[in-house]
């Protein structure tokens, strides 16, 4: 008996000694099966996962694949890395091309996915046949899969993340939570608040309304006329559903009213006098300072800066229209962006494994791992209702940068379903679960939502109509190049708008400036552009 004890102690001692000697704390990984390693590059901002990410390893065990992701160098212009890859003719296994997607297709860098996807049902069922058709090229090949375009059952994002007229919660509180529906009501509130509060608590000058005009983000200035007229965010045109034609929102009466209003507000000192000259970074700095009372923007663009603001300076969205009688149409269902997506490169040595990985990532089990984490550790399941929930510890861990980085792996550039979870009971991620969202609200935002009788900011965006099959048209124009007449026309129009619209707003003589702008605008080959858009609308509608 004594010997047995000493033998056990000796074995344990020996093992622990060996481990201690080497200063090791990593767990044993006996029996780890062979894991296929893939590489992926995403031409968008993202964060690389540290080695030994928990959920990445779990997914690797379950799918047999681990994918090492790299993201766009923030110091490089968009698509520059893609161009370098094309020149070197050397690609990672998966590529998300971003604005360089079409260049990848043109360089024959991507395999035709639909030629190899037999048997991968999760993947094939990701889009409807009609939606897949929209991704096919002239030869019927699908080269990439849009990753952010699919909503399961319904949208569940409590934070409205698209374009709207935004206004700070403290301004609404000061104004007694008015019902803001029209442009005049919106600016009237800001004007009144600014008159009474020319400076914030820190003595900084408040900016009534800010306009971002830098680069392609100048949509904040140029595309509101489509929304003001009650149309969805096609981005480059209004689509007349009756005639199936593209209508130019730049020249509508509402456009005139919109820019005239901006002109007036500029001269009233509501609009930032430096708006036409600032960079995107300077715009974010101003948002971050809390001095900007309102603006038009997509929330995904300014969210990073807004996150640093106190609750009373957070922004609440409004779906403003030009006249009260118009039904707003801001909150479109998630648009299918056919202009970019993830593809498998011709350098991938195991296409089947790559497709299986994409297929596995769309399975309910892996989707839960990607967005909810590990059951029991990151969330709990109520046995009776099937509802997922997180306790306080799990919620607080979700805010720990270190924990999130080492534990969660969303494979965020790969396809997934937003909206509801595959079980139809929960939302696709914890942040969207209504109970969880309401528990995170506090202060002014909570008060504001209660005042407007809603539970989430999304509910403030009133309509959510079904869009036509052509929606969104911006996914088409994003791929225009100057090789075509309509591509060149787009570039000309963009240049003109960049050049003249700020001047229209700042001009002391709006009418003259507008005329000057129109003259320059009409000099562009707008017909080629809109004719092409009309053709695409009809193609997408199957006409």
Partner 1 sequence: MKRKRKKKQIKAGFASNIKIKNKVSIIVVTLMICLIVICYGSYYVVSSMIAENKKESEKLVAASAQRYVENEIDSMVRISESVYRNEDIYDLISKKYGSVLEYHQAFYDFDKNKFPSTTAGSAVEQLLVYTANDTVMSGKYISRLSDVKNEEWYARYKELDRDVILFCSSENNQLSLIRKLNYKKTGTGDAVLKLDFNSSRIAESFEKMGFEGRIYAAVDRKIICSNIKNSQLPSVSELDGYYSTYKNYYTCNIDFYVKAGKKTIVPVFAIPFAVPLLIILILGILVVLIIIDDFKNRTIEVCNICDGKKKSTDIRKRSLGSDEIGRLYDDVSDKLTDLKRLADERKNMKDFVDEYRSRTNEVILSALNYETMKIYGLGSMEKVSVPVSLDEELLNLSDFLNILKEREYFKYSLLSDTTSKVKNVIPYSLAAVALHVAQYNGTGAEVEVDVCEHDGCYSVRFHKAGTFLTSADVLKLRAIFEPEGSRGLPSFNAEDEFNPYVRLSRFYLDDITLNINSKEELDFEFIITNRTGEKEQ
Residue 203 CA, chain-centre distance (Å), reads 34
Among 1, 3, 51, 384, binds partner 1 (CB under 8 A): 3
Q: Binding pattern to partner 1, positions 67-96, x when CB under 8 A?
A: ------xxxxx-------------------
Question: Quick one: which segment of 113-121, 275-283, 418-426, 456-464 binds partner 1 (CB under 8 A)?
Answer: 275-283
Q: Which is nearer to partner 1, 193 or 517 (CB)?
A: 517
CB of 268 to partner 1, least distance (A): 15
491 part of the interface to partner 1, by CB under 8 A: no
Site for partner 1 in 92-121 (CB under 8 A): none
CB of 106 to partner 1, least distance (A): 24
Per the listing, tokens 């090789």 go with: 483
Residue 189 CA, chain-centre distance (Å), reads 29
Contact 73, 102 (CB under 8 A): no
Spell out the long-range contacts of 240-249 with Cβ–Cβ below 8 A and sequence spacing 24 or more: 241/468, 244/534, 244/537, 244/538, 244/541, 244/543, 245/530, 245/534, 245/537, 246/473, 246/530, 246/533, 246/534, 246/537, 247/530, 248/526, 248/530, 249/223, 249/225
Among 108, 279, 377, 527, binds partner 1 (CB under 8 A): 279
Among 1, 22, 51, 87, binds partner 1 (CB under 8 A): 22
274 part of the interface to partner 1, by CB under 8 A: yes
CB of 135 to partner 1, least distance (A): 32
62 part of the interface to partner 1, by CB under 8 A: no
Q: Give the Cα separation of 331 and 466 in Å (integer).
A: 10
50 part of the interface to partner 1, by CB under 8 A: no
Residues touching partner 1: how many (CB under 8 A)?
44
Among 14, 346, 425, 541, binds partner 1 (CB under 8 A): 14
Q: Which is nearer to partner 1, 179 or 508 (CB)?
A: 508
Among 253, 281, 386, 434, binds partner 1 (CB under 8 A): 281
The residues facing 182 across adjacent strands are 321
Q: Which is nearer to partner 1, 73 or 382 (CB)?
A: 73
2 part of the interface to partner 1, by CB under 8 A: yes
Question: Quick one: which segment of 117-125, 176-184, 316-324, 502-510 binds partner 1 (CB under 8 A)?
Answer: 502-510
Per the listing, tokens 């000099």 go with: 523
CB of 97 to partner 1, least distance (A): 19
Contact 379, 517 (CB under 8 A): no
| Strand (E) or helix (H) holding 224 | helix 224-228
17 part of the interface to partner 1, by CB under 8 A: yes
For the record, the structure tokens of 182 come out as 């029209």
How close are the terminal C-alpha atoms of the chain, in Å?
88
The residues facing 145 across adjacent strands are 342
For the record, the structure tokens of 282 come out as 């300077």
Among 228, 278, 316, 493, binds partner 1 (CB under 8 A): 278
φ, ψ (nearest 5 deg) of residue 199: -130, 155
Question: Quick one: which segment of 13-21, 116-124, 245-253, 254-262 binds partner 1 (CB under 8 A)?
Answer: 13-21
Q: Which is nearer to partner 1, 199 or 391 (CB)?
A: 199
Non-local CB neighbours of 311 within 8 Å, separated by 6+ positions: 169, 442, 443, 444, 445
Among 131, 184, 188, 503, binds partner 1 (CB under 8 A): 503
Angle (CA) 344-346-348 rounded to 5° is 65
Among 288, 498, 538, 539, binds partner 1 (CB under 8 A): 498
b/e burial code for range 216-227 (CB count within 10 A of at least 16 → b)? eebbbbbbbbbb
6 part of the interface to partner 1, by CB under 8 A: yes
Q: Binding pattern to partner 1, positions 175-214, x when CB under 8 A?
A: ---------------------------------------x
Q: Give the Cα separation of 509 and 518 in Å (integer).
A: 14
For the record, the structure tokens of 266 come out as 């500029």
523 part of the interface to partner 1, by CB under 8 A: no
24 part of the interface to partner 1, by CB under 8 A: yes
Rounded alpha-carbon distances, angstroms, from residue 292 to 211, 213, 434: 10, 15, 29
Residue 269 CA, chain-centre distance (Å), reads 32
Among 50, 178, 241, 273, binds partner 1 (CB under 8 A): 273
Q: Give the Cα separation of 393 and 319 in Å (integer).
A: 37
Q: Give the Cα separation of 325 and 231 in Å (integer).
A: 13
Question: Quick one: which segment of 20-28, 156-164, 316-324, 436-444 binds partner 1 (CB under 8 A)?
Answer: 20-28
CB of 139 to partner 1, least distance (A): 36
CB of 503 to partner 1, least distance (A): 5
- Residues near partner 1 (CB under 8 A) are 2-3, 6-7, 10-11, 13-15, 17-19, 21-26, 28-30, 73-77, 214, 273-274, 276-279, 281-282, 495, 498-499, 502-503, 506-508, 513
């Amino acid at each position: 008996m004594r010997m047995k004890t000493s033998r056990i102690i000796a074995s344990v001692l020996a093992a622990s000694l060996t481990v201690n000697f080497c200063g090791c704390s990593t767990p044993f990984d006996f029996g780890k099966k062979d894991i296929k390693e893939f590489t992926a590059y995403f031409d968008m901002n993202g964060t690389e996962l540290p080695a030994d990410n928990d959920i990445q390893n779990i997914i690797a065990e379950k799918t047999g694949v681990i994918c090492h992701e790299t993201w766009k160098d923030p110091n490089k212009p968009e698509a520059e890395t893609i161009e370098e890859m094309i020149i070197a003719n050397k690609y990672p296994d998966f590529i998300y091309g971003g604005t360089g997607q079409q260049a990848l297709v043109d360089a024959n860098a991507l395999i035709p996915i639909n030629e190899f996807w037999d048997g991968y049902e999760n993947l094939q069922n990701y889009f409807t046949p009609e939606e897949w058709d929209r991704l096919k090229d002239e030869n019927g090949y699908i080269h990439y899969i849009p990753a952010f375009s699919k909503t399961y059952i319904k949208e569940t994002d409590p934070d409205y993340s698209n374009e709207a007229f935004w206004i700070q919660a403290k301004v609404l509180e000061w104004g007694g939570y008015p019902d803001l529906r029209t442009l005049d009501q919106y600016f009237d509130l800001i004007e009144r608040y600014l008159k009474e509060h020319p400076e914030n608590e820190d003595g900084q000058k408040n900016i009534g309304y800010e306009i971002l005009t830098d680069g392609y983000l100048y949509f904040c200035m140029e595309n509101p006329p489509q929304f003001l007229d009650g149309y969805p965010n096609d981005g480059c045109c209004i689509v007349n559903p009756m005639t199936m034609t593209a209508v130019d929102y730049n020249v509508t009466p509402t456009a005139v009213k919109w820019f005239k209003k901006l002109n007036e507000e500029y001269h009233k000192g509501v609009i930032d006098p430096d708006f036409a000259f600032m960079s995107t970074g300077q715009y974010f700095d101003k948002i971050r300072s809390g001095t900007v009372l309102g603006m038009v923007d997509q929330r995904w663009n300014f969210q990073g800066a807004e996150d640093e603001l106190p609750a009373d300076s957070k922004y609440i969205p409004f779906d403003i229209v030009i006249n009260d009688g118009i039904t707003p149409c801001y909150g479109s269902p998630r648009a299918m962006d056919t202009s970019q997506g993830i593809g498998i490169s011709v350098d991938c040595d195991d296409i089947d494994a790559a497709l299986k990985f994409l297929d596995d990532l769309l399975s309910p089990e892996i989707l839960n791992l990607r967005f909810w984490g590990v059951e029991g550790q990151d969330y709990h399941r109520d046995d009776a209702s099937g509802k997922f929930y997180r306790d306080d510890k799990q919620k607080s861990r979700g805010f720990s940068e270190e924990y999130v980085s080492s534990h969660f792996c969303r494979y965020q550039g790969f396809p997934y379903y937003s909206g509801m979870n595959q079980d139809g009971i929960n939302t696709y991620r914890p942040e969207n679960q209504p109970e969880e969202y309401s528990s995170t609200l506090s202060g002014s935002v909570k008060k504001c939502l209660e005042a407007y009788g809603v539970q989430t900011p999304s509910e403030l965006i009133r309509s959510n109509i079904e869009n036509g099959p052509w929606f969104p048209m911006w996914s088409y124009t994003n791929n225009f190049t100057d090789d075509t007449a309509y591509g060149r026309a787009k570039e000309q129009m963009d240049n003109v708008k960049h050049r003249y619209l700020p001047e229209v707003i700042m001009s002391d003589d709006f009418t003259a400036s507008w005329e000057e702008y129109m003259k320059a605008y009409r000099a562009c080959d707008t017909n080629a552009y809109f004719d092409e858009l009309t053709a695409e609308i009809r193609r997408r509608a199957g006409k």
